[in-house]
Every structure is written in C-alpha cells, then in structure tokens.
Structure 1
Amino acid sequence: MSAFLDTMIAQAKSDKQTIVLPEGNDIRTLQAAEKILAEGIADLIILGNPDDIAAAGLNLEGARIVNPLTSELREGFAERLAELRAKKGMTREQALELMDNELYFGMMMVKEGQAAGLVSGACHSTGDVLRPALQILKTAPGASMVSSFFIMNVPDCELGHKGTFLFSDCGLEVQPDAERLAQIALNAEAAWRSLIDGAEPVVAMLSHSSYGSAANDDADKVARATALVKELAPEMAVDGELQLDAAIVPEIGAAKAPASPVAGRANVLVFPDIDAGNIGYKLVQRLAKAEAYGPILQGIAAPVNDLSRGCSAEDIVGVVAITAVQAQEK
C-alpha cells in the first residue's frame, strides 16, 4: 500500500462519510466493502439483491443493503427525478422505470442526501456512470466541464512526487480542443492540491514535441492550451508542449528544455487526448506495476467516481477512500 493511499484512508477515517456502491452483484465490490467496513474507512450502502449479496459469504456487517427493485424509496425518488427532468419531458412513469437501474437509484440517494458520494464502474462503462450523474446531480457551480484523472503510484520511483503522479484526462474527454485541454489542466492542478500534501503541483502539457521540435497541428494545440493556462492562472507551474521524458526526467528536461520551469520535475501530466492518456496510464499500471486510482471525476456537484472495469478489490478500496475525502471537502 502506498503512502498516498495510507493518507487517504487515514483522512477518510477521521470524518466517516456514507458512500453508495451500486454494484452489489460484483464480487470485487463486495470484497472491497468487507475491507472498508472492517477498517472503518466509510459507511456503506450496497445496492443489490440481499440474498445474492449474503450468498457471497463475506462479512458486511454494518452495511446498509438496499434492493432498488423493492425499496420503499422508489416512488419518492421517481417523483423527484421526474421533477428534475421535467423540462426534458420525463414522465413519472419513465422515472419510475429508471429506478430499476441501480446507477440512477444510487445517484438519487446522493441527490437526496442519503449518501455523500458514489463509486461505480467495475461492471459499467464510464458513460453509464456519467449519464445519470449529469442528469441528476449536474455540474458543480462554476464548473465549465467534467473531466477525469488517475492518481498513479509507481513503486521504487523517485520521479514525480516520490513516484506519485496525477494523469489527466485518461477516461472522459476524447479529443479536447485547446480551450478544453486548458481547462483539464486547471482542473488537474486543483485536484492535486486537494488530495496531495507535501508537494506543489507541477504541470506538464504533454506532446510528441518539445518546444516546437515537431511542427504540426497536434503539437500546436498543446502549445496553445499551455498559453491559455498561463493566461488564466499565471501563478501555476505549467509548461508545454513537452515530451514525456523531458517532463519528468531531470537530465533530459535540462537538455531539451533548459529554460523551462517544469521540465524534469513534473508530477501532473496532462495528455493531449484520451488515446494517449488511456494507453499511458495502462502502460504504467501494467508494466511498472503502479497503483492506479480512478478515473476520478471532476466538475460534478457531488463526489461520483468511476472505476476501470479491470479494477481489483484493492483499487475499489482506494477510490472509495478518495471519494470520502472529496465528500469531506464538499
């Protein structure tokens, strides 16, 4: 277990929050729930059939088990959802049908204050998780977009912040333009500050080019995004466009971008598109055996976080702890 996760768990325990886990049919979710409850990381609501959950044979004492198909909350939730979506033409009957969907039911639990946050995605796509989150919880005040990030902890690594990095956006924005890429960078810097103690965020805008070493539209997009970030947040430690090695390896940064305030010491890595981000985090996770926590979503009005469908029970524990910490801040 990394120092980062130790910190998240300790902070989560200091002010326990209630987190809803909609995927009670997934064994990894139940295994994670057993550990979360045993360690006192969070209070849990698990959605699913109580008989099926009990058949897993795990100690889930203290969890609130709710079956969305039979819960007495269905009617009230459906009425409230119909109100929220009335301008979109949603009827009460349509809303009641959506209460069969554990993600919609779970989001309503958060909306109505029965839970402080939600973690899902072990057996649902990011779109499945994000759609009800935006329909029910909506974006946070002042947020111009929703983006995502991973916290990566690389063992036996002195780069970044003692092997800890924030990667963004690896799970949501497919092909951001320069303006959206700049917003992703601003969101990522804020996320680092909210979760990581003991190190200032140092943001690298990644590309296959460093300081114009390749002249093409893709590299130019990253350079324009960097200029926008510097204009919007002149106090930020941000630079680009930078190749990955120039961004994180001191001697290469000194050679490729000697005047850069970021090169060689970046800990927040902003990828130019989802292809680069998704491939990058999975390479580090699988080849460097890094812990990968996320995708953590930013810009939603309440803490809702996604999971990779290849996640382990330990990954779920980590994301629940992060979600609880976010809920404390909310």
Structure 2
Amino acid sequence: MELGEILKSKISGKDVKIVFPEATDARILGAVVRLHSEELIVPVLVGNPDEVKKAAKDYGFDLSGIDIIDPETYEEFDAMVEAFVERRKGKATEEQAREILKNGNYFGTMLVYMDKADGMVSGAIHSTGDTVRPALQIIKTRPGVSRTSGAFIMLRGRSQEKYLFSDCAINVNPNAQELAEIAVESARTAKMFDIEPKVALLSFSSHGSAKAPEVDKVAEAAKLAQEMAPQFEFDGDLQFDAAFVKSVADQKVPDSKVAGEATVFVFPELQSGNIGYKIAQRFGGFEAVGPILQGLNKPVSDLSRGCNEEDVYKTAIITANQAIMED
C-alpha cells in the first residue's frame, strides 16, 4: 500500500476536523470539496459565508454539507476573546483581542486551541510567519520542546522507498538541546508515516573521527535525544555514508545500532538540511513531502504560496494524521 493510501486509511471515519482560513482561494476550495466528498476529514471554512459561497460558485465548487464559520457572527466569540486574553497573559487587552481574532489565522488557531477543531491548514496566500506565529503564541510547543521544526518525507519509486529529513525549514543553527528535541520530534513524525525510526544525527565526522565544536554539538545532541526518548534509537555524530550504507558503517562505526540502517536523518543546521533535501529531490529523484511542522501541541500546517490543489489535499491528510497521532 502506498504512503498516501496508508495515511488515508488511518483517518477515514475518524471525523477529524480541520480548519481552512483561506476559504475563498480556488486551491483550498477544490481540496476541501474533494476531502469532504471522500469523507477523509470534516473541513471547516473560515470567512464571510456570502464571499465564500460566491467564490465557490465562481470556481464551480459545491459546498453543500461543509461548515463555514464567520468570525463576525461566531456565537462563541466572547468566550474565544476571553480564552485568548488569558492565553496571552497580559500581552493583549480584550479590545485588542477582538480585533486580532477577526484575522482568519488567529481565529482558526483559536478554534484548534479550544478543541473546536483538531488542526489547521493555511499558507496558500499567507506567509509562513503569518501562519506559524499564531500557533506559537496560542497552541505553543509540546512539553520538552522549545521550538517547532520542519521535516520532509522523502519518497522514491513504486516501492515507496521512504525516509525523513529534518530540520530543513525553520531553525537556522540549533544548539545541542534544540537539535536533540528536533531529533525526538522527527522520530515521532517518522512513526506516523510507518517509518521505523533509526535516527542518525549527521555531521562531517563519524564517532569523533574529526574534532570540532560542530561535531561536539551533534554528539551531545544524540546523547540527549537518547535520554529524552529511550524508546527510539539515536546515534551521532555520523557522516551520511556511514548512516546510510551498511558496508561503510561496518568499517567506520561497527558498534552502532543506527549506522547503515538509518531511516531518519537529522541535519546539524538549516543550510545543510535545506541543501540536502533538495539534492535528494533533484539528483536522487525523491519526492519531498512537506515541510511538516513538528513540536506543536496541536497540528498547524504551513502551505507554500506556490502550492496547488493537490498539495493542499495532501497537507490536510498529513495534518489529520498528526491530530490523531499518539505518543
């Protein structure tokens, strides 16, 4: 079974409710109608109902049976304002909150925070900052995680060869503690995609073959990650060939439980992560699915503004899977 079918089967019939704040965008509407008709999720559109319905009619979509929530007339808006002021702990007055929550991303994030929805998908017309900022302010990161990170699932061939690369999207230069957190969250994400996590923390060194502060950071992160999540296997510092190729691993790090069998690759900083996944994509013929935001208490997914309807469809399925994922 291909990965997409596996992810669909996990959420089918679970009535996972996903919010879409960009409800007049053709790509969003097309994906939402498809997801609704296939009964994969329960979509919730945020916006002025007349404007949303007009957009749907103009683009030829039937929104029958799909909920549209208007922030201006939402019956629980007062309770939402109160919850927002409490969550922001003095950083917003009630008057400011009423204005802020007219913004679709903030409103949608609050629906998730208040358990009125299970996750949110945005970013087709908003920047990453506009999508992620409300999530960081309201939903916040999971206990033990100081920041969110971005992973890519790398897929290739009919046999669906698959790996996870992280962090390739957000953290410019994480320290050892932050890198350890990224590694643990990446292992959790891998499990969601039916990838048995063997996590390699990558470097230009294998088990101290080179000496540098950058190597020490990776080695320390691997140690911390193993302490934080003993149910998974972590190792680092590892060069990519030692992590990926069994014969190289046997020669360089024969005592490693991860080397030569790694399925999750954690890059030491953003430059190498971003370069690495794009090399695999362009040279290696891998499909890169993501970025998948990791580390939040509840899932919020950031689309690219260059996305198409299929991207929105897949991202919503991933978000729904994150929502039902257990530790």
- Note whether the superposition's TM-score is higher than 0.5: yes
- Correspondence for 1:306: 302
Residue 77 of structure 2 is aligned to residue 80 of structure 1:
no
CA distance in 2, matches of 1:72, 1:81: 16
Q: Aligned-pair distance for 1:184?
A: 1.3
Q: How far off its partner does 1:203 sit? A: 0.5
Give the CA deviation at 1:183. 1.6
- 1:59 maps to a residue whose letter is D
The SS at the match of 1:259 is: coil
1:127 to 2:125 alignment: no
Q: Give the Cα separation in 1 of the matches to 2:112 and 2:317.
A: 17
**Equivalent residue for 2:117?**
115
Percent of paired sites with the same residue: 42
Contact 1:121-1:307 at 8 Å conserved across structures: yes
1:161-180 map, 5 Å: 163-180=161-178
1:44 shift after superposition: 0.4
1:65 partner amino acid = I
Equivalent in 245, 267, 277 of residue 271 of structure 1: 267
Q: 1:11 to 1:231 in 2, by over 3 A?
A: closer
In structure 2, the gaps of 5 or more residues are none
The SS at the match of 1:59 is coil
Q: CA RMSD in A?
A: 2.6
| Gap change, CA 1:201 and 1:281, over 3 Å in 2 | same
- Structure 1 310/279 Cα, relative in aligned 2: closer, same or farther at 3 Å? farther
Change (3 A) 1:128 1:231: same
Q: 1:35-85, CA deviations, whole angstroms, 9 ceiling, x for partnerless residues? A: 212211101012233123432222333221234355555444334322332
Q: Which residue of the partner structure matches residue 36 of structure 1?
A: 35
- Higher mean displacement: 257-266 or 228-237: 228-237
Structure 1 residue 21, shift from structure 2 partner = 1.0
**2:176 maps to 1:184:** no
Contact 1:21 1:45 (C-alpha < 8 Å) held by counterparts: yes
Matches of residues 88-107 of structure 1 in structure 2 within 5 Å? 88-107=90-109
| Matched residue, 1:206 | 202
Describe the shift of the 1:107–1:230 C-alpha distance in structure 2 as closer, same or farther (beyond 3 A): closer
**Paired residues of 1:12 and 1:322 also in contact (CA < 8 A):** no
Shift of 1:174: 2.1
Q: Residue 21 of structure 2 contacts residue 104 of structure 2 at CA under 8 Å; is this kept in 1?
A: yes
CA distance in structure 2 between the aligned counterparts of 1:285 and 1:310, rounded to whole angstroms: 17
- Does the 8 A contact of 1:173 with 1:273 survive in 2? yes
- Using the alignment, how far apart are the partners of 2:71 and 2:288 within structure 1? 30
1:230-245 aligned within 5 A: 230-234=226-230, 236-245=232-241
Residue-pair matches, total: 322
What residue number does 1:223 align with? 219
| Paired residue secondary structure (1:14) | coil
- Contact residue 147 and residue 169 of structure 1 kept, 8 A: no
Question: Partners of 1:105 and 1:320 in 2: how far apart?
Answer: 18
Long gaps (5+) in structure 1: none
SS at match of 2:206: coil
Counterparts of 1:27 and 1:289 in 2: how far apart (Å)?
A: 29
In 2, the alpha carbon distance for the partners of 1:53 and 1:77 equals 28
Match of 2:151 in 1: 150
Alignment of 1:61-76 (within 5 A): 61-69=64-72, 71-76=74-79
Q: State the secondary structure of the residue aligned to 1:272.
A: coil
Q: Which range moved further: 308-317 or 4-13?
A: 308-317
Aligned CA distance change for structure 1 residues 234 and 152 (closer, same or farther; 3 Å): closer
Shift of 1:98: 0.8
Distance in 1 between residues matched to 2:153 and 2:286, nearest whole Å: 6
- Aligned residue for 1:128, secondary structure, equals helix
* Contact 1:302-1:327 at 8 Å conserved across structures: yes
Instruction: Tell me, in whole angstroms, the C-alpha distance in 2 between the residues paired with 1:287 and 1:25.
Output: 37
